[in-house]
């Protein structure tokens, strides 16, 4: 007994010492934001944060105001909820606030890809060259051809093409948009392998459909992967899925494809030139696939869902689509050529642009995080200043801070297709809070150095999908009274949200 007491005391001392080193007993210093460590040592608020990020942050805002520091899994995050002060974060030097340090850890945890081996500057240059400007024009043309193959391959092939086909709107939208994007970026089955153009198209349809099935499985695990909370059985399944994608996107497989995008081709050449190991190149390709296609399919679902539930919006978009096609000198008719949907055409769809931006405002909710590299002073728009500690993180959650703020966007939970249009039909950019014009009034793509480089490609994909649906299909909800499904709160913080359930719809070719 005499020996047991000192041992227990030593263990307790070690335990408390460990908690102290990990910040479990941290105190708010003068000049720092309000501190809320949470109910559980080290874990802090992480369980409530994971359960419903939006609800938790709103509770913290009501309790502490528009800036506060919370403990999440041993780390301290300062959340800034005042959109007028967001510029102070985005304009800060990378020597003080670094996005890549936090992103590297997430990518390594989810995809087992170590970005230290990769030049982020070169990656940035490659993105800008091929996902914007002239590079995007070429990519849009390739995407159009793949949408045609996936959606319109049965036109003129005989059979009863006026028969209704039933499906889930979420799975249909996600499937088609993912496959079109994947084929456009990573290439098509070669004629040498297929033997004929028709067989190549067929193999593309079959193989991309099989790949989507596996991609969707992986995507369902994504929140658990990001938080590192998978069960042993889930870890085995995830590892199988990762190996499948690494094999499918291997250097040799992609090199044997026809028409891979210049974005993928240049990235492969760059990683080879840098001497990156081949297995790491495969992982890099999967990161690129997920980053480019993980959000567009779910966003396509929400866009179609809102249009189907808002007849006025659907009618306005239909009129615009018909006008754009007519002005291009083309016509959709039985037996006629399939519409050549160009980059210039989809840039003329301002009503669709507004409907898309409204959809993203309602359904895309990233958490934007920077690692604090040195002690710093954060100055807010009203003149207040706070000391932020080195080793902490600064985070923004634009969904509640901006996108559904009723002062910025009246009736914020309602879909208004023309919210981002001026009375003259031009794009609306003037939004206010507390009488001040906001620079950041909706942020589905992030901002600053972390702003999604593929946003223009993603928007083009979404608009092409809607164009082809409207031009070539009759489609409707199976139940006209179907309500818009709730958002799955488990996915807060990871981009485009997903619904808690799918929605039945039916479609058929118009001709």
In this predicted model, what pLDDT tens digit does every residue of 104-137 receive, in sequence order? 888 999 999 986 555 566 666 788 788 888 889 9
> Which domain does 184 fall in, by range?
115-356+486-509
Do residues 397 and 79 touch, judged by C-beta distance below 8 A?
Answer: yes
Report whether 109 belongs to an annotated binding site: yes
Please give the model's pTM, rounded to 2 decimal places.
0.93
Is residue 222 in a domain? yes
Distances (CA, A) of 245 to 107, 242, 277: 15, 5, 17
Is residue 292 in a domain? yes
d(C-alpha 172, C-alpha 169), whole Å = 5
Q: Which pLDDT score, from 0 to 100, does residue 210 have?
A: 98
Is residue 214 in a domain? yes
Q: Which pLDDT score, from 0 to 100, does residue 6 have?
A: 41
The neighbour count for residue 54, using CB atoms within 10 Å, is: 16
Is residue 225 in a domain? yes
Q: Which pLDDT score, from 0 to 100, does residue 190 have?
A: 96
Report whether 59 belongs to an annotated binding site: no
* DSSP, res 401: I
Q: Which pLDDT score, from 0 to 100, does residue 155 have?
A: 82
Report how many domains make up the chain.
Answer: 1
Report whether 375 belongs to an annotated binding site: no
Is residue 150 in a domain? yes
Report whether 284 belongs to an annotated binding site: no
Q: Which pLDDT score, from 0 to 100, does residue 274 have?
A: 86
Q: Which pLDDT score, from 0 to 100, does residue 319 have?
A: 98
CATH code for position 250: 1.10.630.10
Is residue 1 in a domain? no
The stretches in the chain having pLDDT less than 70 are 1-24, 115-124, 158-161
* DSSP code per residue over 279-303: HHHHHHHHHHHHHHHTTHHHHHHHH
Q: Which pLDDT score, from 0 to 100, does residue 94 have?
A: 87
Q: Which pLDDT score, from 0 to 100, does residue 15 have?
A: 38
């Amino acid at each position: 007994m005499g020996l047991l007491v000192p041992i227990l005391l030593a263990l307790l001392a070690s335990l408390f010492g460990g908690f102290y080193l990990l910040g479990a007993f941290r105190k708010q210093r003068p000049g720092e934001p309000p501190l809320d460590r949470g109910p559980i040592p080290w874990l802090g608020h992480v369980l409530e944060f994971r359960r419903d990020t939006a609800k938790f942050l709103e509770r913290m805002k009501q309790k502490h105001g528009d800036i506060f520091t919370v403990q999440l899994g041993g780390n301290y995050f300062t959340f800034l909820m005042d959109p007028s002060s967001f510029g102070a974060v985005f304009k800060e030097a990378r020597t003080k606030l670094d996005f890549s340090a936090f992103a590297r850890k997430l990518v390594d945890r989810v995809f087992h890809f170590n970005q230290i081996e990769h030049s982020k500057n070169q990656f940035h240059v490659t993105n800008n060259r091929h996902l914007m400007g002239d590079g995007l024009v070429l990519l849009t043309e390739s995407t159009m051809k793949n949408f045609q193959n996936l959606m319109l391959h049965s036109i003129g092939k005989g059979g009863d093409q006026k028969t209704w086909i039933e499906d889930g709107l979420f799975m249909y939208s996600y499937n088609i948009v993912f496959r079109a994007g994947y084929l456009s970026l990573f290439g098509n089955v070669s004629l040498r392998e297929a033997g004929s153009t028709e067989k190549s198209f067929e193999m593309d349809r079959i193989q991309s459909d099989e790949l989507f099935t596996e991609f969707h499985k992986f995507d369902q695990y994504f929140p658990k992967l990001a938080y590192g909370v998978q069960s042993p059985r889930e870890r085995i399944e995830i590892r199988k899925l990762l190996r499948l994608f690494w094999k499918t996107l291997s250097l040799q497989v992609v090199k044997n494809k026809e028409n891979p995008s210049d974005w993928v081709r240049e990235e492969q050449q760059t990683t080879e030139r840098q001497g990156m190991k081949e297995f790491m190149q495969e992982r890099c390709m999967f990161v690129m696939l997920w980053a480019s296609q993980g959000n567009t399919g779910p966003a396509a679902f929400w866009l179609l869902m809102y249009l189907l539930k808002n007849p006025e919006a659907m009618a306005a978009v239909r009129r615009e689509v018909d006008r754009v096609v007519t002005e291009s000198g083309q016509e959709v008719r039985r037996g006629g050529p399939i519409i050549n949907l160009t980059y210039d055409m989809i840039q003329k769809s301002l009503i669709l642009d507004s409907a898309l931006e409204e959809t993203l405002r309602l359904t895309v909710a990233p958490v934007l995080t920077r690692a604090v590299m040195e002690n710093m002073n954060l100055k807010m728009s009203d003149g207040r200043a706070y000391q932020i500690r080195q080793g902490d993180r600064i985070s923004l959650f634009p969904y509640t801070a901006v996108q559904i703020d009723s002062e910025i966007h009246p009736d914020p939970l309602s879909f208004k297709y023309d919210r981002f249009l001026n009375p003259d039909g031009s794009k609306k950019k003037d939004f206010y809070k507390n009488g001040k014009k906001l620079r950041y009034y909706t942020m589905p793509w992030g901002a600053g150095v972390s702003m999604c480089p593929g946003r223009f490609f993603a928007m083009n994909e979404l608009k092409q999908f809607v164009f082809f649906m409207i031009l070539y299909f009759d489609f409707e909800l199976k139940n006209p009274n179907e309500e818009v499904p709730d958002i799955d709160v488990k996915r807060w913080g990871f981009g485009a949200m997903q619904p808690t359930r799918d929605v039945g719809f039916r479609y058929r070719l118009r001709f």
